[in-house]
């Protein structure tokens, strides 16, 4: 569902451009709204969410999908934790559909899906591990990397029930906004994937903005 935001850029209390292949780790307080902006279009933002006061509570794709009865995420979707609690709500969305089934790219999956020599290519999972290594005070480690959302990524389900990594439906300037219903840690990998069309074979920067 397409729903435009009423928030103005000049009112944002924080903004940061995240280059392709880089990560962003940011806290968002309950009641605050953040925006992920696809600056040049057709770019996947692989994102994890954790409860700030208990990192064992984190985003759960299956709880989210089950409760909303829909495998795609868009405006109105309530992102739920592994305890079934609402973490954030998608409060605006000009792209219209986001994936939470495809998972994030990793060197291992690149090897299985594409070719053995893809193993050395940078992947989202590496970016997350770099972020966790640089922020050991959070107490998060490799075992905490679980379900994620691929904002802007187009992963249609085929009639046979399979998943397809299709060309993107996002475009320059499209965005998704999330209003937090608990204090969360947001960890985004701006996907460096070059082996499928999720980034239009040309990974580009995104921008993260935050409103009080």
Residues that bind Zn ion (CB under 5 A): 105, 124, 191, 193
Least distance in angstroms from the C-beta of 80 to Zn ion: 23
Least distance in angstroms from the C-beta of 56 to Zn ion: 25
Query: Residue 97: exposed, middle, or buried by beta-carbon count in 10 A (0-12, 13-18, 19+)?
Result: buried
- Angle CA 105–109–114, to nearest 5: 105
48 close to 138: Cβ distance less than 8 angstroms: no
Nearest residue (CB) to Zn ion, 45 versus 140: 45
Look-up of token digits 């005070």 = 137
Nearest residue (CB) to Zn ion, 48 versus 124: 124
Least distance in angstroms from the C-beta of 46 to Zn ion: 5
Nearest residue (CB) to Zn ion, 140 versus 191: 191
81 close to 87: Cβ distance less than 8 angstroms: yes
Least distance in angstroms from the C-beta of 104 to Zn ion: 5
Radius of gyration of the chain (CA): 16
Nearest residue (CB) to Zn ion, 124 versus 129: 124
Backbone φ and ψ for 188, nearest 5 degrees, come out as -110, 135
User: Which contiguous run of DSSP H or E holds residue 61?
Assistant: helix 61-68
Look-up of token digits 């409103």 = 211
Nearest residue (CB) to Zn ion, 88 versus 106: 106
Report residue 201 CA to chain centroid gap.
Answer: 18
Least distance in angstroms from the C-beta of 83 to Zn ion: 27
Least distance in angstroms from the C-beta of 208 to Zn ion: 17
- The Cα 135–Cα 52 span in angstroms is 13
Nearest residue (CB) to Zn ion, 90 versus 105: 105
């Amino acid at each position: 569902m397409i729903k435009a935001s009423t928030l103005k850029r000049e009112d944002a209390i924080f903004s940061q451009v995240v280059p392709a292949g880089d990560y962003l780790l940011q806290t968002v307080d309950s009641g605050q709204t953040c925006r992920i902006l696809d600056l040049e279009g057709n770019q996947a933002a692989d994102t994890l969410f954790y409860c700030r006061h208990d990192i064992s509570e984190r985003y759960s794709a299956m709880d989210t999908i089950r409760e909303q009865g829909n495998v795609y995420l868009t405006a109105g979707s309530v992102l739920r934790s592994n305890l079934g609690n609402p973490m954030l709500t998608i409060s605006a969305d000009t792209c219209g559909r986001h994936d939470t089934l495809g998972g994030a790219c990793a060197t291992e999956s690149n090897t299985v899906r594409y070719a053995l020599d893809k193993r050395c290519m940078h992947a989202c999972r590496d970016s997350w591990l770099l972020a966790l290594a640089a922020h050991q005070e959070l107490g998060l480690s490799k075992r905490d990397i679980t379900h994620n959302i691929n904002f802007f990524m187009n992963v249609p389900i085929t009639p046979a029930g399979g998943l397809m990594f299709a060309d993107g439906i996002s475009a320059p300037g499209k965005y998704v906004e999330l209003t937090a219903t608990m204090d969360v840690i947001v960890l985004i990998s701006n996907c460096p994937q070059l082996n499928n069309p999720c980034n239009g074979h040309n990974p580009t920067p995104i921008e993260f903005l935050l409103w009080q």
